[in-house]
Every structure is written in structure tokens, then in C-alpha cells.
Amino acid sequence: MSTQIERVRWFLGELKRVKSGLVGFILLFILIGVALAFPLIANPQDIANWSGHGEYWDQKMLPKLAPPAWINMFSSVKYAVTQDLSAGAGNYTVLDMQNDKDMLRYLDLMNPDVAKALRQLPEDQRKTLLDNLRKNLHFRYLVYIERSIVYDFKADVPPSDIVILSKIGPIILRKGLVQGINIQLVRPDGITLTLTPGASPNVTNPFNINQYADMMSPGLLIGLTIPTTVNTSGTETYRVIVANTTWRFSIRDYISSVLNSRNPALINSVLGPILKVANVSIGEGVYIDPMVFLMSKAEKDIVAGTAPPLRGKYVLYIKFLIKVPEGYPKPVFKIEKAKALGVYGLLGTDLQGRDLWPAFVYGVRWALIIGLVVSVISTFIGVMYGVISGYLGGWTDVIMTRVAQIIYSLPVLPLLIILAYFFGQNIWNIVWILIAFGWVGLVFTVRSMVLQIKENLYVEAARAIGASSWRIIFKHVFPQILPYMFASMALSVPGAILAEAGLSFLGLGDPNVVTWGKILHDAQAGNAVLNGAWWWVIPPGLGIAVVGMTFVFIGYALDRILNPRLIR
């Protein structure tokens, strides 16, 4: 026991001399620590839902292809950060048309003269007249809903999008039941943009339907991405926004669709107020970044996108005026989440809006597992093969060497790819395939070492006593190879990791396991390089390089400590 401790102490003493080895072991401990600490420093759910159908990540509402948030520390230009937006003032008012007071109030707003005349009439006459008027109404309740969100823009580069996730409905879109929507963006400079064409820029009377865009106007709800369904009752067919409909409203997408409509009237009705102040017009086929346009000062460079940013509080109002027929439930409009999408997190996001940090951290685990399992098993096989071939000699040796030579002459990567095509789709199959090709490189060196060891006197002596071949191999030959074996194990780790990464990069890896190679595959498939998404490309490759380097350092150190004869 004490000799064991002494040995370890000796080894550690030696390690201090070989600096790169020390670095290697420190790195290895850090890597193992990171792999073990994964559930603490990242959300395991992110990995469990990594390759799902995207619902999980849709729910998270992360920006797509967003650089990491810390770039603001190094950049002179500050980017807007991804953040949740607070709700501003809201309103929910219901007028019940069966209630005379509410009815009069409605008439006050709609037709003041009639209301005034009605008020002067005696009670019973007024009631009759009101009842008559009610017959012409197609609804029971008039509901006014107002919600708003506030975004305080402080950066230089506006967010890539502002997204609002809400629940809405039920709203019945029947002919003759004119209902309104009015979405307005009030900028810090006081310019108010009316995003819904047809609505009035300044609403003085929330119950006046003429101040809204008609919800039935063609294309409006589709443009706003409010989902509707067709409902049939009797002979009548009408559209409905069903109860609890999820409405995801992206300001960027909406403004883009307006700009792409090539409809000058539409563009002018939405963006006109800014264009008027800036005294410019949008030419045909000019590309405009919607968010930059919305959040820049109204100056003449705004179309080129070079006007200075307009910082301050932006308020987005969403107002509805809904008519509810008798017997139908009142509508609900509730903003569940509102986000400004900008730079995000520790490592940014990919094209599907997935957070790259958990994937990167998780990658450590598989890099270590693949590297270690493949190198340990294949080195062991290679050493045993070489030892047996070299020790037994004769025809066994000839055949074994020839087999190894044939395998060695086959181009490895093409065959790996073929086999991965056959048996891939499972990470452990890939591990076995890597082992199948990983062992052969060692055989030749080990064999020549064994040929030397075999000639030693003590081996001959052991043979003379009558020790069996296996006993000699394990007692006398194998221990001599051990130091070399350990060094080779460490040195073959990078190769295994690189091979797995290469296969995953080509899309031949396990689709359900997130490895660094897979992240890089996604990056290549998502044109990360063409989009300049360095945060998607650099970390996984750096991870591969660091894990590889760790074992290369350890391998060289082991080689120098355990095989002092090899120091030249």
C-alpha cells in the first residue's frame, strides 16, 4: 500500500516538472466538473427538448440567431438586450344594451343629438323608443378592451423584433356586426403610428366604431396573424376567433409584410407619420429593416437605415371594440408575454431560437464519454492484438499483421461514413464503429516492442521454467507495454472526438444526442457562416479543441514521465 502511495507521490512530483501535463490534468478536472455540474449551470429541459417539434422553444420566445449579450461589453455600439416588457395601462369596459343607462351612454357617444332628445322625454316614452332602437342592434354587449406594453429603448441598435404573445377570443366576425381593432405605436418623439390601416390616429371616443379599423376588412386579421376559424350555424357561415386563441404578434413581421406589400397606400397609412416628419418617401424595391426604421429619429437618412437611434419609451396600444350578440360569452384579451428580442444569453441563439449555452455545456459530457470510451477500448484491443501477434510469431503473426495492414490501408473516414450510414442514428453504435477503426494504428509499434521484449533473458527464463504463453504475456510482456499504452490512450482521445464530430457534422450522428459536432452540423445547415453567426460556430469547435488538447497535454506528459527512455 505504501509503495502505491509513494508511486502516486512520485508521479505528482514528476508532473510538477512537466508543465503541460499539469495544465492537462487541471483542464481535465475543470471539464469533468463542468460535465457534472451541467444540471446546475444550465437547464436540462433545454436539452430534453432540443430536437423536438419546436413548441418548447416557441414558448420560450427567444430571438433567432441572436449574438450573446456580453458583446455589449466589448462593442462600442450597444445592442438592445432581450428582455420581458412590462404591461402599460389597460382598460376593459362593457356597455350592456339592455341597460337603459348604458344604452343612453352609447347613444351619447354615437349620436349626441338623439341621446339629448331621448333624455328630455318622459321615462315610459324613452323606454319604448329605446326598445325600438334596440331592435336594430345586432348585439347585446359592447366591449371596449385596451392593452398596452411599454418598451424603454436605451441601446444604439434596436431589437430585432418585439413580440407579443396573447390569448384572445371569442370574437364572432359576422356581417353586419362591425367591430374594430386599432393598434398604435407611440414613439418617444410623439409620433403615433397606426399599424391597422383605416383606424383613426387619435382616438377620442373609444366607443366610436369609426375610429377603428374594421376587423372584417379583407386581409387585416391575416396580416396581423390573428388565427380565425370558420363556423357554420344553420345556413350562415362566418369566421370566429375562438375562445383562448393564442395570438403571436411580431411587429417586425407585420411591418415587413406592409413594406413587402408594394402597396403605397398601405405603406403610407402605416408609416406615413414618420415619413412626413422626415420628409422622405420610400422608393421602389428599397430594403428597409423594419425595426431600425421604427426606432430611428425621423430624419432624412431613415430610409437608408443610418439615422440615429431614437431612445426612450415606446408604447404599443392594442384596442378592440367588440360587439357580443345575445347569448355569447364576452371576449377576453390578455397579454401573456411581451418581449423585445435582442442579444441574448451567454452564447446567443441559433436559427431556430434555441439557447446555445445549454447545448454547449452538455457537449462536454459527450465529448469526454466518446473520447474516453473509444480511446480506452481501442487502445486496449490494439495493444493486445500487437502483443499476441508479436509474442506468438510464426503464421499467426503473419496473418494477424496482414489483417492489420489491410485494415490500416483502408481510408478510414469514408468507411466510417459508410458504417455510420448503416448503423448510425445511435451514439453507441458510432462509438463501436470508431473503436473498430481506432485500434489498428497501435498494433505495429506494440508488435515491434514485443519482439524486443521477447528476446530478454527473463522471458526466456520464464519459458524455461515452463510458464505458459498467457502467463508470460500478462506477467512479463504486458507490464512493459503499459506506460506506452497509457500515453497512447490519452493521445488517441482527440482523434476519437474529432471523428465523432466529423460524422455528426455530416449529419450521420445520433439525432437525439446533442454533441458539439451536431451543433456545428446545424450551424452549417443553417448557413451560420453566411450569416456571420460566429457565436454558433466558435464555441463548439473550441470545445472540441480544448478537450482534445487536454488529452494531448496529458498524453505527452505521461509519455515523458512513464517512458523516460524516450526523452531525447
Residue 167 · residue 247 · CB < 8 Å: yes
Minimum distance from CB of 449 to other proteins (Å)? 13
Determine if 552 is a binding residue for other proteins (CB under 8 A): yes
Stretch that binds other proteins, among 39-47, 341-349, 424-432, 532-540 (CB under 8 A): 532-540
Determine if 505 is a binding residue for other proteins (CB under 8 A): yes
Determine if 27 is a binding residue for other proteins (CB under 8 A): no
**Residue closer to other proteins (CB basis): 338 or 533:** 533
Encode burial over 39-52: b for 16+ CB neighbours within 10 A, e otherwise: eeebeeebbebbee
Determine if 519 is a binding residue for other proteins (CB under 8 A): no
**Residue closer to other proteins (CB basis): 56 or 444:** 444
Give how far Cα 100 sits from Cα of 107, 140, 235, Å. 10, 12, 33
Residue count, binding to other proteins (CB under 8 A): 48
**Residue closer to other proteins (CB basis): 32 or 418:** 418
Determine if 520 is a binding residue for other proteins (CB under 8 A): yes
Cell of 205: 371616443
Minimum distance from CB of 558 to other proteins (Å)? 13
Examine residue 170 and say whether the peptide bond preceding it is cis (omega within 30 degrees of 0): yes
Stretch that binds other proteins, among 69-77, 100-108, 328-336, 542-550 (CB under 8 A): 542-550
Determine if 530 is a binding residue for other proteins (CB under 8 A): yes
Give the pairing type, strands 141-153 and 312-324.
antiparallel
Determine if 402 is a binding residue for other proteins (CB under 8 A): yes
Q: How many helices (H) and strands (E) does the chain have?
A: 23, 14
Residue 325: half-sphere exposure toward Cβ, Cα within 13 Å: 11
Q: How does DSSP assign 452-467, residue by residue?
A: HHHTSHHHHHHHHHT-
- Single-letter code of the amino acid located at 358: P
Minimum distance from CB of 537 to other proteins (Å)? 5
Residue 184 · residue 317 · CB < 8 Å: yes
Determine if 565 is a binding residue for other proteins (CB under 8 A): no
User: Contacting other proteins (CB under 8 A), which of 548, 558, 560, 561?
Assistant: 548
Cα–Cα nearest to 246, from 230, 227, 221? 227
Burial environment of residue 9 by CB neighbours within 10 A (0 to 12, 13 to 18, 19 or more): exposed
d(CA 113, CA 459): 120
DSSP state of 324: E
Cα–Cα nearest to 279, from 264, 297, 260? 297
Cα–Cα nearest to 501, from 485, 480, 523, 486? 523
Cell of 114: 338623439
**Residue closer to other proteins (CB basis): 280 or 537:** 537
Determine if 525 is a binding residue for other proteins (CB under 8 A): no
Determine if 417 is a binding residue for other proteins (CB under 8 A): yes
Determine if 501 is a binding residue for other proteins (CB under 8 A): yes
Stretch that binds other proteins, among 83-91, 140-148, 384-392, 497-505 (CB under 8 A): 497-505
Determine if 494 is a binding residue for other proteins (CB under 8 A): yes
Stretch that binds other proteins, among 41-49, 96-104, 426-434, 521-529 (CB under 8 A): 521-529
Determine if 423 is a binding residue for other proteins (CB under 8 A): no
Interaction site with other proteins (CB under 8 A): 20, 401-402, 405-406, 409-411, 413-415, 417-418, 421-422, 444-445, 494, 497-498, 501-502, 505-506, 520, 523-524, 528-532, 534, 537-538, 540-541, 544-549, 551-553, 556, 568
